[in-house]
Amino acid sequence: MDSVNRSAVTPSKSKLARTFAKVLHIRALTGTHKPKFSENVKDDVVKSELLKKSQFKSFDDEDEKLQKAAAEAFLAKLFANVSAVKAAYAQLQFSQSPYDPDGIQSADQLLVSELKNLSELKQCYVKKQFDEYSPETTYLLAEIQEQKSVLKTYDIMGKKLDSQLKLKESEIMFLREKLVEANKENKLIEKRLNASGPMSPLDNLHFSSLSSSHFITFLRQTIRSIRSFVRLLSKEMIDAGWNLDAAASSIEPDTEFLKANDVCYAFESFVCREMFDGFNYPNFSISTEPLPEQKKRQKLFFDRFMELRSVKPADYLAWKPKSTFARFCRAKYLKLIHPKIEDSIFGNLHQRNIINSGEYPESTFFSTFSEMAKRVWLLHCLAFSFDPAASIFQLSRGCRFSDVYMESLNEEAFLSWDGSPETEPRVGFTVVPGFKIGKTVIQSQVYLC
């Protein structure tokens, strides 16, 4: 109560002092004064006036400090009330999602109450009515209230973020379940496609509509199958401790490979050379059975193509173990896979012995080989379905490069050591042979040096 009385009394005193000083100042300016006194009286009056001025100045300083403290306390309380309104509004928003009617009602009441407190604070400022506490105490209490409101706001925000996190986790679980279902459906579709075979220009192939474009399409599939087998063979040789660079040099001696990975072309060249050997002869010269006249011969090879193309090699070999294709597989495997290579890869000659006995092993290696052999055999059947039959050709080492008959697998060969164009690149070796179907030339793939 002392502070209240002090606040009420001090401004009056200050006002009185200022009024009295103003009166004296006016009298001095107008010259109005009382009759002269003696010199001693004058000295007493001067001393009395100086003492009064000193007291008035102390009253002014005290009043200014009090007003400043009161203003700071008011602002602190104002910001505390605003923070409380903000916290109440945050609570109201939090209760709306997910919908909580009791929480909304409670937050609404709290928000109205805080807005009412803010309005009352405004009225106190207008009427210049102060707290029952001192300005210092009011300031501290307001700071505490503001910090509590801020903490409450952060707590609500934390709860909201936690709720959003749980929602996102629930969505992730739902999407994962959908992904598992989609993967299962994709696998079922993939199985159906594998069972029926992928769609290609060869799906609706008929003997009467056979053209060179069909041969080119199937040649590309054959080359992909050959390269799959070459990758598997190279991997098995690396695992067995083979030096691929040395092996490539033995296949294509006196060849300087421009890149380290180019040694794979040497293995691809070796596989193609062995698998396509005898391609220009009916049945690869592995069968001496008589063949019908030209037209019937074409239809015979086309029917062989259609019979085998949609069947897995393992199933066909089990179905017809003594067929021409079965003999072709046996002969090419024994010629392509040297006993030393097989023994180093598998540690024995078990697969070779099985094949020599007229049976076929159930291994990934032989499965990949038989798929490649099937593609080469079908390409051969397709070649002999034309009139005249498609023929094969290879380029000798040292031949000049020709865009008509060749496709380069290493474009670096067209540049000299200083980066300028090379005028006459030469064939190092043929990787994939070329073909001729009537007047149509299918380029061979060559490695230049």
Count of structural domains, the chain: 2
- What own/partner pairs with CB < 8 Å and gap ≥ 24 does 366-371 have? 366/333, 367/313, 367/314, 368/228, 368/229, 368/232, 369/229, 369/329, 369/333, 369/336, 369/337, 370/313, 370/314, 370/317, 370/329, 371/225, 371/228, 371/229, 371/313
Examine the domain organization and report whether 379 and 431 are in the same domain. Answer: yes
Nearest partner of 122 among 78, 71, 69, 70, judged by Cα: 78
- Domain limits at 76? 2-167
Examine the domain organization and report whether 228 and 128 are in the same domain. Answer: no
pLDDT for residue 6: 39
pLDDT for residue 84: 79
Last residue of a domain, one of 147, 167, 187: 167
Examine the domain organization and report whether 219 and 292 are in the same domain. Answer: yes
| 403: in domain | yes
Examine the domain organization and report whether 29 and 157 are in the same domain. Answer: yes
Last residue of a domain, one of 143, 167, 191: 167
Torsion-angle region of residue 121: left (phi > 0), alpha (psi -120 to 50) or beta? alpha
| 378: in domain | yes
Examine the domain organization and report whether 233 and 296 are in the same domain. Answer: yes
pLDDT for residue 377: 97
| 281: in domain | yes
Number of H helices, E strands in the chain: 13, 6
- Alpha carbon distances (Å) from 185 to 181, 190, 191: 6, 9, 10
pLDDT for residue 19: 37
Examine the domain organization and report whether 40 and 127 are in the same domain. Answer: yes
Handedness of CA 279, 281, 282, 283 (dihedral sign): negative
pLDDT for residue 239: 93
Examine the domain organization and report whether 75 and 127 are in the same domain. Answer: yes
Per-10-residue mean pLDDT for the chain, 449 residues long? 38 42 39 45 52 49 65 71 77 72 75 74 59 63 75 79 82 87 81 60 79 93 96 94 92 87 93 96 83 89 91 92 93 94 92 92 94 96 93 92 90 65 79 94 93
| 248: in domain | yes
| 397: in domain | yes
| 261: in domain | yes
pLDDT for residue 91: 75
